[in-house]
Amino acid sequence: MKRTLLLAALGVGFAFDFLFWGKPLGISWAIFVFFGMLIGVVLLCVQKIKPLGKNFILLVLIIFFSVMSFLHREPLTTFLNITFSMLFIVILVMTYRSGSWTSFNLRDYVSNLLHVVGSMFVHPQDQSISAKTQQADQKNTQKRKAYLSVLRGILLALPVLFLFALLLSSADLVFAQKLDVFFANFQLEKLGEYLFRSSYILLIAYCFVGLIRHAALRSQQEKVAGLNEPLLKPFLGFTETSIVLGSVIALFSVFVIIQFQYLFFGQNNITLTGFTYSEYARRGFGELVAVAVFSLLLLQSLGAITKRETKQQKKIFSILVTGLVITVLVILVSAFQRLLLYESAYGFSQLRTYAHVFMLWLGILLVAVLIFEIRERPRLITNLVLAVMIGFTATLNCMNVDAFIARQNVKRAVQGEGLDIAYLASLTDDAVPGLVRVYSSTETPSAIRDEVGAALVCHTALKGTDNSQTKPWQSFHLSTWRADRALEKVRANLSNYQIREESWQTVVSSPKGLEYSCQGSAWMD
């Protein structure tokens, strides 16, 4: 079994090199994850070690996020897809035989993660060794000694062969020529590259063996901390907590009343105070989201350390927590409204779209935390946060962020607002099919069509020759493939645009004689 595991681990290492070395990210990540998972599950099943039913949820999540990594190119979505697929692989390894991750809190995740990392570098050993196994180990030890003897012989022979080959090549030109041809096939000028690639192949293989051995030998040994009693004994008096929560709720309530006047009873009230929409919306948006996050942390901290010795105290605490969550939810609505005002003035961007989705899921998290706190089930909070993070990432995948941004900004342009051509061109290939549909539509106003065409030409110019036709198959990406197919339909019309390179920017001239700069605000906050 050891030999099979080593060969499989080396196969995983070589697969990583074959899929990723010198190749942009594409379908390669999904293939590598599927290959590694398949090898690992088969190796464990051969030893009659199968995952519990709960862990099939992790398998589904791993497959989902791995597949999503080559459907969309938007940076944050891609990063989260890869991060979550790796995270759930680690969770699967740490609880492969127990499935106890559903009962984990934050401390359990951290401690077991450290155990998995340790197993990757110090492989766990099976403690139940029979006499036959000991005999087999002795035979393996003898084999290893024989292999080491062969290796030492080769290392000693190499300098001797090098010396004699050098002398013989100096003595005979034909032999020297044949020797040069022989070594040319190995491309010795890339020796450093070969050594580096060999090193990480062996490192990946070594870590893979550690993960498999951890899943087989230690994934049933993890201890769930604080399952029967809380990790931290409550020490803060109920009176002190009531004062803290009550004062915070009072402060938030005053803020909410002011927000109702300016944001919910007529936006014209904002301009009466001397602020424009954009100034009012931009100021404090991040602070309001921070208030919501810190309020969530405050709620969790007080819930863990506050003494609630009577039913009345528990009831009052639940009322205070409910009041805090309600006021924070209104503050979130205020922040959401500010962001809408900001977008109405400047348009949509990646960061603003992230913030929109984040606030929605933060609101869901607050409500769920409130329910779990009232029901006194604090252990589930960590997995609840994990579920919300999954929901946030899944939402970004489903909405296709860059396509959404392009669609909304074009819609604003149709309504008479400005269209940032440079920012539109800087979006990933995810936005291209939608822009092509707008450009091809007969219902699109000619001015907007002219601008969208310029954005497509700018996107192609900024992208250069980096397309799906010149990349290896490992870098195949569905988003790029769809973008190339869409552009092919309008390539003849886009040829009417002229591109001019200046000292610091690329300028596109449209058929109407208008000029658009392809460089502009590289980042819109």
Q: How far apart are CA 423 and CA 518, in angstroms?
A: 8
Nearest by Cα to 93 from 110, 116, 70: 116
Please provide the distance, in angstroms rounded to a whole number, between the alpha carbons at the two ends of the chain.
55
Confidence at 396, pLDDT banded by 50, 70, 90 = very high
Distance of CA 150 to the CA centre of its chain: 46
Per-residue pLDDT tens over the stretch 302-334: 877 888 778 888 888 888 888 888 888 888 887
Q: Which two tokens stand for residue 476?
A: 């195949």
pLDDT for 523: 47
DSSP structure class, residue 210 = H
Q: How far apart are CA 255 and CA 277, in angstroms?
A: 19
By percentage, how much of the chain surpasses pLDDT 90? Answer: 24
The SS3 call for residue 509 is strand
Whole-model pTM over 0.85 = no
Nearest by Cα to 101 from 53, 64, 170, 143: 53
pLDDT for 522: 46
Judged by average pLDDT, the poorest of 41-55, 230-244, 399-413 is 230-244
Residue that wins the pLDDT comparison between 172 and 230:
172
Per-residue pLDDT tens over the stretch 478-501: 999 999 999 999 988 888 888 888
Confidence at 122, pLDDT banded by 50, 70, 90 = confident
Whether 322 and 282 have beta carbons less than 8 Å apart is answered as: no
Q: At what angle do helices 75-94 and 191-217 cross, to 10 degrees?
A: 50
Confidence at 135, pLDDT banded by 50, 70, 90 = low
* 60: Cβ contacts below 8 Å, ≥ 6 apart: none
Per-residue pLDDT tens over the stretch 219-270: 876 566 555 555 567 778 888 888 888 898 898 888 878 766 655 544 554 4
Q: How far apart are CA 397 and CA 37, in angstroms?
A: 23
∠ Cα 338 340 342 (to 5°): 70
Across 399-430, b (16+ Cβ under 10 Å) vs e yields: bbbbbbbbbebbebbeeeeebbbbbbbbbbbb
Confidence at 505, pLDDT banded by 50, 70, 90 = confident
Res. 80: pLDDT tops 90: yes
Confidence at 288, pLDDT banded by 50, 70, 90 = confident
Q: How far apart are CA 343 and CA 176, in angstroms?
A: 72
Q: How far apart are CA 225 and CA 184, in angstroms?
A: 60
Looking at residue 323, its amino acid is G
Nearest by Cα to 119 from 267, 219, 258: 219
Average pLDDT over residues 205-210: 90
